A and B are shown apart, each in its own frame.
Chain A
Amino acid sequence: MDFRLSSQEEAFRDEVRRFLDENLPADANRGDFRFVVEWNKKVRAKRWVGFSWPKEVGGGGGTLMEQVVLKEEMAKRKAPPLGACFMGLAWVGPAIIQYGTEAQKQRFIPDILDGAYQWCTGYSEPGTGSDLAALSCRAVREGDVYVVNGQKIWTSIAMWSKWMILLVRTDASSASKHEGITCLLMEMSTPGVEVRPIQNMSGTAMFAEVFLNDVRIPVENRLGEEGQGWQVTVSALASERSSIAEVTAMFRKLEELQELAKRCTRNGVPATRDPRVRRQLAVFEAKIEAMRLNGLRSLTQQLRGEVAQGETSVNKLLRAELEVDMGDFALELLGSAAVYPRGSDESVDGGRWQSGALNWPEVVIGGGTPNIQKNIIAERILHLPKDG
């Protein structure tokens, strides 16, 4: 057991820090469009976009450990993301690299790395949320095209995306619901695609319903074999595994909460002298530190070539709890002022704490609700009998 970095990894850390010193001044406006465009060019030139992808496809060929170092340093300085194509980098790209044809790799991977446009993910349907494999969006092959009919929902950033990775049912007769699913890559401008944004409870719209009516998708845009869609999806989602960047961001959030506590009073004394506040902040710290170390443990398992058991679900559950509880705790600290959102003269810090307390479902529900994660742990790790 040794938590130190090798000298090579230390050298890489220094390189990242130097880069940040030079290219990310403390007062940089991270929300400024021109700044982000320049930033993306620079990190792309360093091959830090798609850092762990093979060099042949234009990735950085970095090791798992170097990737941890890179993400950690970036998050510490609140750097903008490495690359602009969020879902393309997270799982569409890895799926194409693993299952795509040579033509598909050449067509899509460079654009994902350059952030030329956005990808969205057409998995959930009105009738199939947690039970993803029960999806019913239908695709019928007619010569060189698939004709798709059905509806997708909770599709994040569908209204700003050029392409969608889409799961459809090509064979309704198969015995298992996991069979007969196929993965297609669909251009959003194809006739028959209609996107309707859904407003969420914090007042913004990040996701949408997507209606598909006789949408004709060329067979050459199928990812993997017909009927292989479930496998493609599972292995693509598995590549979304390192939680290191999240952990660093959570530590930063905790610091902000601590700062907020210093400004608030409870029962007539500074909130930081209230034993319950002190304990709660320390409990958050313990959970985030546990996430960090759980992540390193599973990384070691990966490096040793062992199957990492359930760490993803463990950390997802911890993160879900933290997102909900930390968001809510901020409002508790604010006391009566918690009722004023953005737009009121009385709102604290421009209403950011209210947004935080209302936006957790994006993280907590997306990618599997906490109850589904508990089923996964209970059934796959503890081998308890399956539900239903």
Chain B
Amino acid sequence: MDFGFSEEQDLLRAEVRKLLDARCPLGEVRKLAETPCGYSAELWGELAQLGWLGLTIPEEFGGAGLGWVDLVVLLQETGRSLFPSPLVSTTLAAAAILESGSDEQKQRWLPSLADGTRIGTLALLEAADAFILTGEKRFVADAGSANLLVVAFRTGPGAHDLALGVLDRGAAGVATRSWTTIDATKRAGTLELDGARVEKSALLGAPGKSWPAIERLFDLGAIAVTAELTGAAEAAHALTVQYAKDRLQFGHPIGKYQGVKHPLAEMYVDLESTKSLLCYAAWAVAESPGELPRSASLAKAYGSDMFARVGIDGVQLHGAVGYTAEYDIQLYLKRSKWARPAFGDSDFHYERVARLGGL
């Protein structure tokens, strides 16, 4: 039993942190959030060169061949920096192809996802029709920048008659509308499909049999989002702790008063607990797949509620300045609003835990 990170993982964490601190501090994040595409193509290229875009893609397909615990390390850091990029979306699109695609399909798409020339995303929510797709996919992360779309669609009347296929953004009948979300560092949109064709060679797995793969993708998405939100919550907590040490009222730093220090301690308890739940879920991805649904749901449920509270209390403990655009704490509050519904909120996941437990 070893519930700790390896030296390589600690090194990865340090490298990511160093790069993001140097190249993408919060001032830069704020600037990028104002640009139309919302992220830096230059930094995207650098991440590709460092092998971080294809972290969980096997080496034979151009990736780094690492696992989900390594990915958690990376995403905690991108979350901590509020780093704007379609990294999570691309990683999940790659996971879909990796888990359900043929060798030929992997060879066709994965290297370009790993080297950053293709940007992927999942379009799972809201169903469309048959192999000729007509309909709308909503809440598609990075819909504006992604050019490789992994789409889930219906093949029959049964609730689980679903298929997964890859669509090119430029294909006929595919249109996207994209917006800045409540968190200006995250983009999402709607995918409008009007007679778009999924070529047979672009079907991932057997049509009509993709429900288990989709469910697993959903779990992976929940873990990826939880990793980012854990990093972000840790940063928001650290900002607030620092503020409580610096801000003087009634002759003392406000962190001396229990009305301030106790909520900070409670946040710490929930943060550490989320980290534990998250790491176990990430470990289960490869090592104990049977435990993945429950452990992913526990992590996302606990993490969503934790971050919602860290965001709100973080702003509140800053007092009036927490409400200003100038201070950074509000950026994290907005991120928490983005992260809560992504891949299921706590009501959704706790209900799933209850069901999995036989209730």
Decide whether A and B assemble into one complex.
Answer: yes
Give the interface SS of chain A, mostly helix, strand, loop or mixed: helix
Minimum CB–CB distance for A290 against chain B, Å = 4
- Known contacts: A286-B301, A385-B256. The answer to whether A261 contacts B3 by CB under 8 A is no
Contact in complex: A299, B255 (CB < 8 Å): no
Minimum C-beta distance from B340 to chain A (A): 15
Cβ of A285 under 8 Å from chain B? yes
Q: Give CA–CA (A137, B268) in the complex, Å.
A: 36
Within 8 A of A (CB), among B266-281: 266, 268-269, 272-274, 276-277, 279-280
A301 touches B4 (CB 8 A): yes
- The answer to whether B273 touches A294 (Cβ under 8 A) is yes
Q: Is the CB of B3 within 8 A of A3?
A: yes
Q: Are A281 and B359 in contact, CB atoms less than 8 angstroms apart? A: yes
Q: How many residues of B contact A (CB 8 A)?
A: 44
Q: Which residue of B lies closest to A384 (CB)?
A: B255
List, in ascending order, chain B residues with CB within 8 A of A385's CB: 245, 252-253, 255-256
Flag if A1 contacts B264 (CB, 8 Å). no
Contacts A290-B277, A293-B276; A279 near B347 (Cβ below 8 A): yes
B241's partner among A291, A314, A382 (CB-CB below 8 A) is A382
**Which residue of A is nearest B279, CB measured?**
A1
Give bound CA distance, A378 to B347, whole Å. 30
B347 near A374 (CB under 8 angstroms)? no
Q: Closest residue of chain B to A287, judged by CB?
A: B273
Do A300 and B3 touch (CB < 8 A)?
A: yes
CB distance from A126 to the nearest CB of B (A): 23
Min C-beta distance of A265 to chain B, whole Å: 15
Residues of B within 8 A of A285 (CB): 298, 353, 357
Closest to A388 in B: B256
A142 at the interface (CB under 8 A from B): no
Structural contact, A382 and B1, CB atoms closer than 8 A:
no
Q: How many residues of A contact B (CB 8 A)?
A: 52
Which B223-277 residues sit within 8 Å CB-CB of chain A?
Answer: 241, 244-245, 252-253, 255-256, 258, 260-262, 264-266, 268-269, 272-274, 276-277
Give the Cβ gap from A272 to chain B, nearest Cβ, in Å.
5
Q: Contact: B264 with A297, CB < 8 Å?
A: no
User: In the docked arrangement, what's the CA distance between A258 and B356, Å?
Assistant: 13
Q: Once the chains bind, are A286 and B258 in contact (CB under 8 Å)? A: no
Which of B274, B351, B353 has the most chain A CB atoms closer than 10 A to its own CB? Answer: B353
Q: How far is the CB of A234 from chain B (nearest CB, A)?
A: 20
Q: In the complex, which residues of chain A have a beta carbon less than 8 angstroms from the beta carbon of B347?
A: 275, 279
Contact present for A282 and B1 (CB under 8 Å): no
List 6 additional A-B contacts (Cβ < 8 Å) besides A3-B288, A286-B353, A384-B241: A2-B283, A9-B1, A261-B359, A282-B353, A374-B261, A375-B258
A interface residues with partner B (beta carbon < 8 Å): 1-6, 9, 65, 68, 258, 261, 272, 275, 278-279, 281-283, 285-287, 289-291, 293-294, 296-297, 299-301, 303-304, 310-311, 314, 317-318, 371, 373-375, 377-379, 381-387
13 A-B residue pairs with CB within 8 Å: A3-B1, A4-B1, A279-B354, A281-B359, A282-B301, A285-B353, A289-B298, A296-B3, A304-B4, A374-B261, A382-B255, A383-B245, A384-B255
